[in-house]
Amino acid sequence: MSADFDDSADFHNDSAKRRRAAEQWPGFDPAEALRWSKVLLHHSPDPQRAAIKAQMSSAISRGIPIAGPDWVRTAESARLDGFNPVLYQTLFESLRTIPKTAFRSHPGHRQATFKTYLPGTPYESELWSDWPKLFLTDGFDARTATTLTLLRAEPKFPRPRSNN
């Protein structure tokens, strides 16, 4: 569950960075790949070891786009739903303000965790595809758009069974 990471010195060369971006981020230009790398480092769809994330962060801060497992698929899916890296970060930052106990549909319930890894929260297109419209077109603030999206999704997530 680690990212493909190579920290050789030739990545300081712009053509090497473009080549790396084209290899790891097909269909993304290098600048967009770097922006998605920065966002997905903090809002990763998959769990990662802290040491790997630190190495990835170092490379990203030097302008090297990095792709962890499922990052490109996540970015492609989110992009098709109308997200760009800024909107994606805005969504996940607004989720941090909403306790996962408030909604059964909250993705915090589906976080992937392993004992020695930082957790990952998968992007769920069926849940978030309307979020950009609520935020950009309908004019809701990020937290309200997130709350409305979670509220609309509640019927899709069954109540836990009780012993009563």
> What is the 3-state secondary structure of 124-162?
CHHHHCCHHHHHHHCCCCHHHHHHHHHHHHHHHCCCCCC
20 located within any domain: yes
Percent above pLDDT 70 for the chain: 87
pLDDT at 13: 61
4 located within any domain: no
Return the ∠ at Cα 17 (arms to 13 and 20), rounded to 5°. Answer: 135
163 located within any domain: no
2 located within any domain: no
For residue 151, the enclosing domain spans 9-156
Distance CA 132, CA 121 (A): 19
pLDDT at 9: 44
| Number of domains present in the structure of the chain | 1
92 located within any domain: yes
1 located within any domain: no
pLDDT at 16: 72
pLDDT at 2: 41
Mean pLDDT of 75-101: 96
123 located within any domain: yes
Distance CA 59, CA 37 (A): 10
Cβ–Cβ under 8 Å, residues 91 and 130: no
Cβ–Cβ under 8 Å, residues 59 and 66: yes
> 118 has which bridge partners?
48
Please determine, for residue 149, whether its predicted confidence score (pLDDT) is greater than 50. yes
162 located within any domain: no
Amino acid in position 25? W
